Structure 1
Amino acid sequence: MNAYDKLQQLGIELPPLSAPAAAYVPYVITGNRIYLSGHIARKDGKPHVGRLGHNLTTVDGQAAARHIAIDMLGTLHAALGDLSRINRIVKVMSLVCSTPDFTEQHLVTNGCSELLAEVLGERGQHARSAFGVVQIPLGACVEIELIAEIS
């Protein structure tokens, strides 16, 4: 099953490319790699604000990370024209706005990682880092960036 069939099966419609919120571009292609700028969590079209371990749970964070994965797939589609050009998601880096005692950043990030693997299969499995941070732009609860090998 290709990525578009899987998205349809999951009831996911890819969003259009979002405009950058500052002085950067949403992605850069160089050689056989695409680098996606950080995508923040959004809810109802606005930044999904909050802090894990304070007013958001791990499950809330996983849902936010899953939505970010959908946004990133939309960016990849806009950039590449076809998700079949993705040879492999190489690396995902996740920033989770969290309290000092919150230690489940890795579980929050699973919301993104699991969807990428579900949609892209083995090509969606990747290396990863997940960090807890004090603040993310616009008060977002999660921000994720991605590097992929493309053809």
Structure 2
Amino acid sequence: MPGKFESRLADLGVILPEAPAPAANYVPYVIVGDTVYVSGQISNGPDGFITGKLGETMSAEEGAAAARTCAIALLAQVKAACGGDLDRLVRVVKLTGFVNSTADFGDQPKVVNGASDFMVEALGEAGRHSRSAVSAASLPFGVAVEIEGIFQIK
């Protein structure tokens, strides 16, 4: 039987995928006490990587949709870290978003809002978090967005 968070996700039409495997020599998450540090999750949809450069080939709205996929992958990692029980999540502590963007693009916060808004929509008050949204000259595989997160669990 799904817990409260997964029921809320289902109401939004979201079923968490299996947690993505790391693409290099690192682990997808580290647990220290009641804190889970999740490695950067890249924008990836049903058709593969979501690539592009904000301010050149993608709009802020398209970037926000890409950031939402990162948030879904972050929650999949948290679920894996919690032994499959997402209800062990207490709160999202912080997200750091990296946006593949041109030097003159200044809407990184609007892009990362795609992840932030999703966390609050899916998790309610537990989804409210601190955040950074920064520009990157490029990201792995040419993806549009990468987001890492810090989560408190019980």
Q: Tell me if both proteins adopt one fold, taking TM over 0.5 as the criterion.
A: yes
Q: Give the one of 11, 14, 33 matched to 1:12.
A: 14
Residues 98-109 of structure 1 correspond to what in structure 2 (within 5 A)?
98-109=101-112
Q: Give the one of 5, 23, 26 matched to 2:25.
A: 23
Q: Is the partner of 2:72 in helix, strand or coil?
A: helix
User: What residue is the counterpart of 1:136 in the other structure?
Assistant: 139
Q: Residues 94-129 of structure 1: CA distance to partner in whole angstroms, max 9, x if unpaired?
A: 000000111000000000001111111111100000
Gaps of at least 5 residues in structure 2 are none
Q: Residues 44-77 of structure 1: CA distance to partner in whole angstroms, max 9, x if unpaired?
A: 3522111000000001000001111111111111
Q: Give the one of 67, 79, 83 matched to 2:86.
A: 83
Residues 57-68 of structure 1 correspond to what in structure 2 (within 5 A)?
57-68=59-70
The 4+ residue runs of structure 1 with deviation greater than 6 A are none
User: What residue is the counterpart of 2:95 in the other structure?
Assistant: 92
Deviating more after overlay: 44-53 vs 100-109 = 44-53
User: What residue is the counterpart of 2:45 in the other structure?
Assistant: 43
Query: Is 1:122 the equivalent of 2:130?
Result: no
Compute the displacement of 1:17 (Å).
1.4
| Aligned-residue RMSD, C-alpha | 1.2
> TM (normalized to structure 1)?
0.96
CA distance in 2, matches of 1:49, 1:10: 25
For this pair of structures, how many residues does the alignment match? 151
In structure 1, give the amino acid aligned to 2:19: L
Gaps of at least 5 residues in structure 1 are none
In structure 2, give the amino acid aligned to 1:136: L
Deviating more after overlay: 78-87 vs 131-140 = 78-87
In structure 2, give the amino acid aligned to 1:121: G
CA distance in 2, matches of 1:25, 1:84: 22
CA distance in 2, matches of 1:45, 1:62: 17
